[in-house]
Amino acid sequence: MKYIIVFTLVYLTSNDCLTAQLDSLSPVVVDSLKTRISILEDKIESINDQGNNLVWLDKVLPSVVAIVVAFVAFFSSTLINKRQIMSSENLISKQIQASEKIANQEFRRSVLSANRVSWIEKFRDLISEFRTDLLLLSQMPEKDSDAVRKVTVLVTRIELMLNPSDHRDKSLIRLTKSFYESCLKYKDPDTTISFDNIIGLQNNILAEAKDILKSEWERVKKGE
């Protein structure tokens, strides 16, 4: 019996893994354990030559039990702390992932909104320039080639900024081409196009363009 007790004591005090765990204890706890172990060693030394197992059990066993209980309590606490740490790390990891997701969404919204605002400004200026230049061109009895070339480029730029698959954009593309052709033919000797026709097309273009711009502004407000 005494050899079992001695072996238990030696194992608890010399095991590298346990020694490493002891290093994390507070000085007060370590001193307490060392004191108990020292007392136990003194008891073992004092009865070492008596050869009576009952004496061992009576004098040494309570100290051994106290030390074992202390170690068990310590390792139970360590296990609980590790689980708490792992749980905290998982929670922090999830919070970081959620923050990154929100940050990416906000960045995407910010970039998309900025691009959309830029598109709105360019489109508005393009429609205004297109309308003004074509009305001036329509009043020329002899159409200036440079002026014709310029409005032709404007028509193409407007078409490229729109989505031909969208019914509203498709309608505006059709109106801009009709307006362009009507302004070029106006004042020709054989034309049947009146100025009222041109003004009507212009008003329809402005109405369609305003509708598109309003829709895009609403998307900007929503952060799309």
- pLDDT tens digit at each of 224 positions of the chain: 444 444 454 444 444 444 544 455 456 555 665 666 666 556 555 555 555 544 444 454 555 555 555 655 655 666 666 677 777 777 777 777 777 777 666 666 676 788 888 999 999 999 999 999 999 998 888 888 899 999 999 999 999 999 999 999 999 999 999 999 999 999 888 888 899 999 999 999 999 999 999 999 888 887 76
130: closest CA among 120, 118, 119, 122? 122
In this prediction, residue 110 carries a pLDDT of 72
Alpha-carbon distance of 52 to 34, in angstroms, equals: 26
| Residue with token string 């994390």 | 24
Query: 19 near 74, Cβ under 8 Å?
Result: no
Annotated domain spans of the chain: 2-94, 115-221
In angstroms, the Cα distances linking 197 to 74, 174, 215 are 94, 15, 27
CATH number of the domain located at residue range(s) 115-221 in this protein: 1.20.120
